Amino acid sequence: MTSAAARPRTRPAWVSLALPAQHGGWGFWFEPALAGLIAAPSTAGLWLALSGLGALLLHHPLMVAYKDLRRGRMYARTRTAMLLASVYALIMLAAFTMAYMQAGAAFLPVLLIALPCALIYFWHDLRNDARSVVAEVCGVIAFAVIAPACGLAAGWTALPALALWALIIVRAVTSILYIRERLRLEKGKTAHHVLVHGAHVVGLLVIAGLAAAGSAPWLPLIAGVLLTVRALLGLSERRQSVPPKILGFREIAYGTIFALLTGIGYRLL
C-alpha cells in the first residue's frame, strides 16, 4: 500500500464551513419541517421548509466570518465563509419570497412570535454561549415555528397551528434536557434526573391536554411515551455507554418517529 493510499481522507476545508458544526441542528430543522409538511402539505410549505434549511446552513459560515472580522482578520476561510453565507442567505430569502407569493401573509404572525427567541439565541451565540440551556431552548423554539407556519400557509386556523407548534416544542425541549444530562453521565458527572423526568411528564400532559381539547391528535402521545421510556432507561444505571455521535443519531431517529406520528395524526383528524 502506498503512502498516498494509506493517508486518511480529509474532506475539503470548505465542507466544514458549508455544513452545521453541530449535528443536532439537522434534527431541529428536519422534525418541524417533516411534521408540518405531512400535516399540512402545500407548495408554500415546501418553500418555507427550504427557507428554514437556508437559515440553518447560513448560521455557521456567518458566525465564522463575523468572528474573524471582529478580530480584524481576513483569512482564506473568512472569504469562503462570506461566500457561503451569501449563497445561503440568498436561498433563504428567495424561498421565503416564494412562500409569501404562494400563501400571502398568513404565516407571518407566528414568525414574528418566534423572532424574539431567534434574537436571544443569536445574542448568546455572539457571546460564545450558544450551548447554554437558554440559548438551545430559544433556538429550537425558533426553528420549531416551521411546523405551524406550514399549517397556516396551507389555510389552517391559528389554534391547530399553535397546537402543532407546542407539540414540536415539547419534543425539542425534552430532547435538549435529556441529551445534556445524558452527556453529563457519560462524563462521569451527576445528572439531574428529576428535571428531565419531570419535563417529560409535563410534556405528556401537554400532548394529552391538547388532544383532549381537540386541537391536536392523540397519535403523538405514543411517541411521547416512547421518548419518556427512552429518558428513563437512558439515565438509569442500566444504560449502555455510547459515543455522543451515536446518541445524536438515535435522537434524530426518535425525533423522526415523533414528527411522523404527529404529521399523520393531524392528517387523520
Q: Would you kindly state where each structural domain of the chain is located, as residue ranges?
A: 19-268
pTM higher than 0.85: yes
- Model confidence over 2-39: pLDDT tens digits? 444 445 455 567 777 888 867 678 889 999 999 999 99
Using CA atoms, how far apart are residues 170 and 205, in angstroms rounded to an integer? 10
Residue 212 binned pLDDT confidence (cut-offs 50, 70, 90): very high
Give the model's pLDDT for residue 12: 66
Using CA atoms, how far apart are residues 166 and 87, in angstroms rounded to an integer? 32
Alpha helices in the chain (DSSP H): 3-6, 13-18, 24-39, 43-70, 76-103, 108-126, 133-144, 146-153, 158-186, 193-212, 219-234, 244-268
Least confident of 74-83, 92-101, 152-161, 225-234: 74-83
Strand, coil or helix: what is 15? helix
Q: 39 or 67: whose pLDDT is higher?
A: 39
pLDDT at 103 over 90: yes
Residue 86 binned pLDDT confidence (cut-offs 50, 70, 90): very high
Least confident of 68-72, 157-161, 260-264: 68-72
Using CA atoms, how far apart are residues 137 and 149, in angstroms rounded to an integer? 19
- CATH number for the domain running over 19-268: 1.10.600
Phi, psi of 91 (to 5 degrees): -60, -45
